[in-house]
Each structure stands twice: as C-alpha cells, then as structure tokens.
C-alpha cells in the first residue's frame, strides 16, 4: 500500500469515527469532537474529549434513550437514601416501626408523589434539572408533637393531620417568594442550607466502602476513559472511550456496596442484631407486600386538621422555601445556566406547594422539596439533561404503584444508603459554599456572622436535646411550642444570621448583595456574566404560552409567568 492510499484509508476512518460520534450524541456539541486515536493496533477508537468545567450533557440536551434511562436509575437510587430515610422517620415518629404494611404504604405514596412532582417541576415548574423528594423539614414539627403530647402515638391520627402543608402554594402564587428572596442573601442562605442534614440516624453503620468507591470513580479517575467494546453492522468491532465510570459512579458504588453486604451476610460476618446491614433479615417485607398499590386520599382514615401541626408546618414551610430557593440557584450554577428569574422561582415553589398539598391528602406525613443531593450528582456525573430527571420522575411514579418494588427498596442495607448520601451531600455542600465567592471573606464582619450563626444553629438544638426540662414557663403547651421552634437548627442559625446581617453595618459589595442583584437582574445580559458564557439563555426557563395570550392582562399580572409587555 503506497503513502497516498494509506492516507486515504486513515481519512476515511476519521470521517467514519466523526460520523459515529455525532450519531451517538448528536445533540451534544462538546462530545461531537470524536477523534481517531491509533493505539498498538488498528482498532477504531473514539475518544470523547470535554473540558473539565463543562457538562457532558447540558440541561437542554437530549441524550440517547439508553443513557437517559441509566442516568435516571442512578438519580433514583441516589435520592432513595433520602426518600427512605424520611419515610422511616415518619414511621418512627408515629410509632409504626414494627408495622411493615404501614412502611410499605408510606414509601409507595412517597415515591408516587416524588415522581409526579419531579415531572411537573421539569416541565412546568422551574424547568431546572431538579429532583423532588420527601421534605425532611416537616419532620421537626412531628418530633415536636411528641414533645407537646408524649401520649399521642397514633399513626393514622398523626398522618391525617398533615394536610396543613397547603401553606406552600399560598405563598408562591401571591408572589410572596420574592419577599423571602429579598430577605435572604448569600451569607444567610449558606448558614440555613448547610445546617439541614448535620445529623442522620441512618449513618451509624460502616459506610466507608461506598464512599471510597464513589470518590475514586468520580474524582481520582475523572481524567480517565473507560474502553467500551462495541460492535455494529456498519463499523464492525471497535472501542469507544467514554467516562462511563464517572457518569455511573454513584450507581456502581451502590450496587457494589449492596453486593458486598450480601456476601458478608452469606458468610455470617455481621452481628446477629445488625439487621439493617444484613440482606436476609427483612425478606418477609417483600413476600407480604401487595403487587399493586395506588395511593388515594384518606387511605389512613378521615382527613383532619390540627392547629398545632399547622403552626409547626409554617416554620417548616418557610425553611423549605428558603432551601428550595438556594437549590434553584445552586442548580443553575452547577449547570452553567443563567440565574433563574423571579417568575421561575415563583413557579417552582408553586409546584412544590401544590404537590405538598396532594401529599398531605394522601397522608404521606411530609411535603415535597428539592433534593440538593441530586444537584451534587450532576456535578459528579456532569450529566445535566432535563430529560434525565423526567425519566427519573417516571421511574418513581412506576415504583410508587408497584408495592413489591417499594418493599425491595426497604431492605437496602443502611450502609449503602448512608454512603451514597454522604457523597452527594458532600458535593452539594461544596456547591452551596461556593455562593460565598461574591461575599468578602476577608471581612471580619462576615466571618463573625457566618461562624456565630453556624455555631448557634448547632448549639441550641443540642442544648435543648440534652436539657429537655430547661424551659419552664408554667404552661406545658407554651413550653412545647418554644421547644418546637428551638429544636430546628435551620431556624436557629438562619434567624441569628438574618439578625446580624441586617443590623451590623456593611456595604452591599461586602455582603455580596451587589453581585447577587446583578446576577438575578432580568434586564442583565442573559448570555454571559463575569465567569464566562452560559450554556443556555433565559428562554430556557420559559413555558409554552400561546402568542395570542401573551398580551392578556391576566398573563401580565401573574407572578409565575414572564412579562410579555412590548
């Protein structure tokens, strides 16, 4: 073969590889740069080259179906740790720990609502790649109810009182979110979000293996590619180099951890009383579960209303709204999107409130909220496609209808759940802390406020837990209400941060408000900021509105729709 023929052969291979790379991921520009790389043999090798700070799949991209499904399964398994933990805590509070039927019904209802809310959030709500799960903020009022009335331990009575979560949609539809958004800036936002999940009862078992596997695959091997052997009729056998281990790092860690727990159970390496780490201790849950469960209002009995629960849920609602606002901005930052405008935030909170209303009628025992752990999963896998989260919602919806599947998830070993949760919230906390980049951390004022707020948020609930009789006002109900407020770390830390930040003198630049207002200004340039180009413009957040409706006066005044004034 002469030189010209050899060059032509390599040129044809280059064209084929480029066409195959485009066919594989035709909607992703960053991955359309497949190049032919000659190794020790003549095998075609497609190397996907991407920038370290870019997404493999942007929020507006449409990955292949198989990748969408697998990533959806991964997000489902990652968020399951939080969903199951909240459901089990509701079971614990309502004294139904030994009732496996209640556990299965609660988890089925919770997953059903997670699916509905995630789909609505992706299509109608904020339209960000966010997963909606069981809100842990609303468990604090439940715990406080036991303090107010230790004898109240009726699962059906407690669950039927929880329809007071309807406060969330009322705030969002009347533009009340903008008022909270004005009150909250970077310093207070960080203090309130990071105090959300400091303590977790379900992480008491050894979780090091799952954490190590996830970190090694997602961080230490982030610059490596996985050789994937493929065969097609057109190209024959070839190797695709793709960061598979990074995209599915959490899923691989969960499956390996589950497998190791099964092996340790088979060789009897666990203690007999370590039932939540064994894989054979709760198999009767699957056997006794019904194949099909459709949640319905009043499935635990007649729906009732409790003023004390409503008062406690008001605090939980405000905390959840503030958490969600921070999550929206954190997700936009993670996905390299423009900061969500006010109407997008309003619409997102409205969807969360509507789904919380439905969850209350179903007796789930909690509301729905944005899961920050899955925002961290986006950063780890670098797959931010909105299609993935729609697929995740569909998976949750199906899982919620099939009772056997809910029962299977109830027997996942706690070390596996805890390890996944540590990795995800570790990444998310880093994203939240990055909001402080516009705040002057060389300012003694800011450092004192941050440190004091976090310390108070940790100290006050712990002090109340270790000194339950410290508050004596002469009224048992009044004592219970005060304890209900003080046991909330988000409330304690957030109030201290809000008080100090608004009373201690500081410039707008020092507090980060000037930079924050510049980023969220709807009239600012939506295509670029000081950090570089966005992957999408502000139209990413818009929902479909018929052209003849856009100039309607009703549309103009709705706070959850953009202004279409000419």
Rg (CA), the chain: 25
309-357: pLDDT as tens digits: 676 677 778 777 877 888 888 888 888 888 888 888 888 888 988 888 8
369-424: pLDDT as tens digits: 888 778 877 877 788 889 999 999 999 999 889 888 888 877 778 788 777 777 76
Locus of tokens 């988000």: 490
Question: What pLDDT band is residue 115 in, cutting at 50, 70 and 90?
Answer: very high
2-36: pLDDT as tens digits: 444 444 443 444 443 444 344 434 443 443 343 33
pLDDT value at residue 199: 45
- CA dihedral defined by 256, 262, 266, 271, rounded to 10 degrees? 110
Strand partners, 237: 231
276-286: pLDDT as tens digits: 777 777 777 78
Q: How far is CA 372 from the centre of its chain?
A: 4
Task: State the Cα–Cα distance between residues 423 and 377, nearest whole angstrom.
Answer: 9
131: left (phi over 0), alpha (psi -120 to 50) or beta: beta
280-317: pLDDT as tens digits: 777 777 887 788 888 888 777 777 666 666 766 777 78
Ranking 17-31, 60-74, 172-186 by mean pLDDT, the lowest is: 17-31
226-259: pLDDT as tens digits: 887 877 677 778 887 777 777 677 778 888 888 8
For residue 292, count other CB atoms closer than 10 A to its CB: 9
Cβ-based neighbours of 227, under 8 Å, separated by 6 or more: 239, 240, 241
**Concatenated DSSP letters for 265-330?**
HHTT-S-TT-TTT-SSSSTHHHHHS-SB----TTTTSS----HHHHHHHHHHHHHHHHHHHHHHHH
pLDDT value at residue 36: 36
Residue 134 has pLDDT above 50, yes or no: yes
Q: What is the mean pLDDT of the chain?
A: 72
> Looking at residues 171-192, what average pLDDT do you find?
48
Question: What pLDDT band is residue 523 in, cutting at 50, 70 and 90?
Answer: very low
Task: State the Cα–Cα distance between residues 520 and 526, nearest whole angstrom.
Answer: 10
Task: Please give the residue that has the higher pLDDT: either 481 or 526.
Answer: 481
Q: Which 8-state DSSP code applies to residue 340? A: P
pLDDT value at residue 206: 52
| CA-closest candidate to residue 407, choices 295, 284, 296 | 284
Residue 119 has pLDDT above 90, yes or no: yes
pLDDT value at residue 393: 93
Give me 82's structure tokens: 């939080």
CB-count exposure of residue 519 (10 Å: 0-12, 13-18, 19+) = middle
């Amino acid at each position: 073969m002469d030189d010209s023929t050899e060059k032509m052969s390599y040129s044809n291979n280059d064209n084929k590889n480029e066409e195959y790379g485009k066919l594989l991921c035709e909607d992703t520009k960053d991955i359309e740069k497949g190049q032919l790389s000659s190794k020790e043999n003549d095998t075609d090798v497609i190397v996907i080259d991407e920038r370290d700070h870019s997404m493999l799949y942007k929020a507006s991209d449409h990955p292949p179906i198989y990748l969408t499904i697998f990533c959806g399964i991964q997000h489902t398994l990652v968020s399951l740790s939080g969903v199951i933990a909240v459901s089990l805590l509701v079971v614990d509070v309502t004294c139904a720990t030994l009732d496996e039927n209640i556990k299965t019904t609660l988890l089925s209802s919770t997953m059903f609502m997670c699916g509905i809310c995630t789909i609505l959030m992706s299509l109608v709500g904020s339209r960000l790649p966010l997963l909606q799960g069981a809100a842990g903020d609303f468990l604090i009022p439940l715990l406080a109810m036991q303090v107010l009335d230790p004898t109240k331990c009726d699962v059906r009575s407690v669950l039927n009182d929880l329809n007071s979560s309807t406060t969330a949609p009322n705030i969002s539809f009347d533009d009340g979110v903008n008022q909270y958004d004005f009150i909250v800036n970077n310093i207070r936002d960080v203090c309130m979000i990071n105090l959300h999940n400091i303590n977790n009862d379900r992480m008491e078992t050894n979780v090091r293996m799952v954490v190590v596997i996830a970190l090694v695959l997602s961080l230490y091997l982030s610059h490596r590619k996985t050789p994937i052997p493929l065969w097609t009729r057109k190209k024959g056998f070839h190797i695709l180099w793709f960061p598979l281990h990074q995209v599915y790092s959490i899923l691989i860690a969960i499956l390996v951890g589950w497998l190791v727990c099964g092996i340790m159970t088979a060789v009897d390496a666990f203690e007999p009383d370590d039932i939540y780490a064994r894989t054979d201790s709760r198999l009767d849950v699957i056997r006794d579960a019904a194949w099909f469960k459709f949640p319905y209002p009043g499935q635990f009995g007649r729906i009732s209303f409790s003023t004390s629960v409503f008062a406690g849920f008001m605090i939980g609602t405000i905390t959840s709204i503030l958490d969600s606002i921070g999550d929206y901005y954190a997700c936009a930052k993670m996905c390299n999107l423009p900061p969500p405008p006010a109407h997008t935030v309003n619409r997102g909170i409205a969807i969360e409130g509507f789904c919380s209303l439905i969850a209350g009628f179903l007796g789930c025992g909690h509301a729905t909220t944005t899961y920050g752990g899955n925002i961290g999963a986006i950063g780890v896998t670098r797959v931010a496609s909105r299609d993935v989260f729609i697929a995740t919602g569909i998976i949750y919806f199906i899982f919620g209808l099939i009772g056997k599947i809910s029962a299977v998830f109830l027997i996942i070993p706690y070390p596996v759940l805890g390890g996944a949760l540590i990795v995800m919230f570790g990444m998310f906390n880093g994203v939240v802390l990055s909001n402080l980049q516009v705040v002057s951390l060389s300012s003694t004022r800011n450092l004192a406020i941050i440190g004091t707020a976090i310390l108070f948020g940790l100290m006050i609930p712990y002090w109340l837990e270790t000194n339950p009789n410290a508050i004596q006002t002469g009224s048992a109900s009044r004592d219970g209400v005060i304890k209900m407020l003080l046991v909330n770390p988000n409330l304690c830390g957030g109030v201290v941060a809000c008080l100090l930040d608004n009373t201690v003198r500081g410039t707008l630049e020092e507090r980060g408000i000037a930079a924050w207002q510049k980023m969220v200004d709807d009239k600012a340039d939506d295509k670029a900021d000081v950090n570089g180009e966005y992957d999408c413009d502000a139209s990413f957040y818009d929902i479909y509105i018929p052209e003849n409706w856009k100039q309607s006066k009703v549309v103009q005044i709705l706070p959850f729709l953009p202004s279409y004034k000419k």
